[in-house]
Structure 1
């Protein structure tokens, strides 16, 4: 068989996402933090606050894509009380500080996707996205190949970020 010169990018781990294997009706943002903290790495939880936690996105847009998530199960930002909102923003600031130290990004994308029309992947539980960005970090792969290239294994990124969060938070 003749090689056509086409390069191949193998990402077999993506098949579980595409086919829905492992997905359940249970809210991941309620299930994961309810587990014993000894399972935080397995559940990608980097930091636990009083009202919110910081978790890595299992299906990231780029390396280091994190989310700050309230423990309260709600799809409406207006359901959060002042203490929950204050901590959500404080943990977002903590995330930015950690990213600046660890990854030296040139910018950030942050925000909520609330509701189906806004592109929320998990509509029933709000979450605040924080993504480090670099000039030129986007390319043709997501557009033409429907593939995102993540440069580091998610658990390697977890280990790096976990250490930085613990140091920054004084743990």
Structure 2
């Protein structure tokens, strides 16, 4: 029997490669050989710049932004999984989490003039200040171990009575 649905292989790809693939910047090698290779190279470079910009923004994000990004990624994966189970033509709407407003923190003023310069401090030598370390006392002598008493002799096993002889079989 033939399968009615094509298998859906799920692969993990790096984010930059995923953006390039999804934006259509990646083309077959045959297309790169023609006159459009320069345009394709520029397109790949612009997508790479966008990916780097997104990564820099994500690096500057705070813990709440990281949490929202993780939740968004988990929801997208869940929607993709559930969408794969649905019949063809049925699509689920995307779930969007609310965006946090960007807060610009005020810049700190230059505080370098507030800290006065201190004169260098010279420490006196520690030769006469620190008392000499006392000698380590000798360990006390260990007493000799007492002698082990001799073990008593093993008693003799009493002799067993002789067994009666069995009668001969007829």
Same fold (TM over 0.5): no
Q: Which has the larger radius of gyration?
A: 2
Q: Higher strand fraction: Structure 1 or Structure 2?
A: 1
Which structure is higher in RCO with an 8 Å CA cutoff and minimum separation 6?
Answer: 1
Normalising by structure 2, report the TM-score: 0.25
